[in-house]
């Protein structure tokens, strides 16, 4: 089956620093990738939709200048949390889809802890 | 996008069949229904998808009535490892308007 690799799985950083999270589709080309955020005991919340070669579409309430998304190739999308603060501590999950397929293939997630 | 409603939590015992129902009253004609499973600190995992009637795979069955306003995920003979959160989503497969809105999910706890 389709595999999505997300790296790192866990990151701790100091407040004010930036953190980059990578999402790779290992055995398929992902025309679209999605980024979600999940707080403890809560559901996934869509942050943005990323299409290869174009600007990401952000959901209402998500700061595009704080959460920079780059989808430079059909197998890689990155999410950079800029100037991270403790309230950005969360579980970030990416997913990828192929062409007309409806199924999302999810990465294992990245737990971000901002001190 | 169609909103989904599921029970917040369910309890079961090993070996029992578990049925989780999801309501999606305003489902559109082209919408498919998809169920995901999520373990703590992991990304969701696809379980099953369907449009109408019944779909079965190696891990679960999905029952969808004729009006499609609800769906039921059936897990046969659950084990402790089935303890997880289960989400149902609806979305349009054909136009790419995919289900991206996760509801609250159902937290299934399987006891020995």
- pLDDT tens, A10-59? 999 999 999 999 999 998 888 889 999 999 989 999 999 888 888 899 99
Which of A32, A46, A103 lies nearest to residue B101, judging by beta carbons? A46
User: pLDDT tier at B93 (50, 70, 90 boundaries)?
Assistant: low
State whether residue A53 sits within 8 Å of chain B by CB.
no
CA distance, residue A90 to nearest chain B CA (Å):
11
Q: Give the nearest chain A residue to B98 (CA atoms).
A: A102
Q: What are phi and psi of A87, to 5 degrees?
A: -70, -10
Best to test chain B binding among A102, A105, A107, A108 (most B CBs inside 10 Å):
A102
State whether residue A4 sits within 8 Å of chain B by CB.
yes
Checking if the pLDDT of B13 tops 70, the result is: yes
Closest CA to B102 of B36, B49, B46: B36
Q: Contact A22/A78 with Cβ under 8 angstroms?
A: yes
Q: Give the nearest chain B residue to A31 (CA atoms).
A: B96
Q: Contact A113/A89 with Cβ under 8 angstroms?
A: yes
- Find chain A residues with C-beta within 8 A of B3's C-beta: none
B14-62 per-position pLDDT tens digit: 999 999 999 999 898 888 899 999 999 999 999 999 999 999 999 999 9
Q: Quick one: pLDDT at residue B101? A: 78
Tracing tokens 């979305």 back to the chain, one arrives at B91
Q: Quick one: pLDDT at residue B98? A: 61
Q: How far apart are CA B39 and CA B86, in angstroms?
A: 9
């Amino acid at each position: 089956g389709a595999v999505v690799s997300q790296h790192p799985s866990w990151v701790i950083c100091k407040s004010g620093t930036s953190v980059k999270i990578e999402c790779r589709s290992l055995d398929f080309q992902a025309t679209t990738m999605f980024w979600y955020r999940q707080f403890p005991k809560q559901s996934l919340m869509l942050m943005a939709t990323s299409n290869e070669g174009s600007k990401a579409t952000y959901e209402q309430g998500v700061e595009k200048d704080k959460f920079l998304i780059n989808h430079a190739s059909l197998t890689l999308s990155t999410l950079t949390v800029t100037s991270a603060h403790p309230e950005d501590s969360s579980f970030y999950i990416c997913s990828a889809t192929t062409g007309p397929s409806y199924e999302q293939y999810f990465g294992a997630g990245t737990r971000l802890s901002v001190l | 996008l169609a909103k989904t409603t599921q029970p917040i939590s369910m309890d079961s015992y090993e070996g029992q069949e578990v049925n989780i129902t999801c309501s999606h009253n305003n489902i559109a004609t082209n919408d498919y229904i998809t169920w995901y499973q999520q373990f703590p600190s992991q990304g969701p995992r696809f379980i099953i998808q369907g449009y109408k009637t019944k779909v079965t795979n190696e891990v679960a069955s999905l029952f969808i009535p004729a009006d499609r306003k609800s769906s039921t995920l059936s897990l046969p003979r659950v084990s402790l490892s089935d303890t997880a959160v289960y989400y149902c989503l609806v979305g349009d497969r054909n136009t790419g308007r995919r289900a991206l809105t996760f509801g609250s999910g159902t937290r299934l706890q399987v006891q020995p």
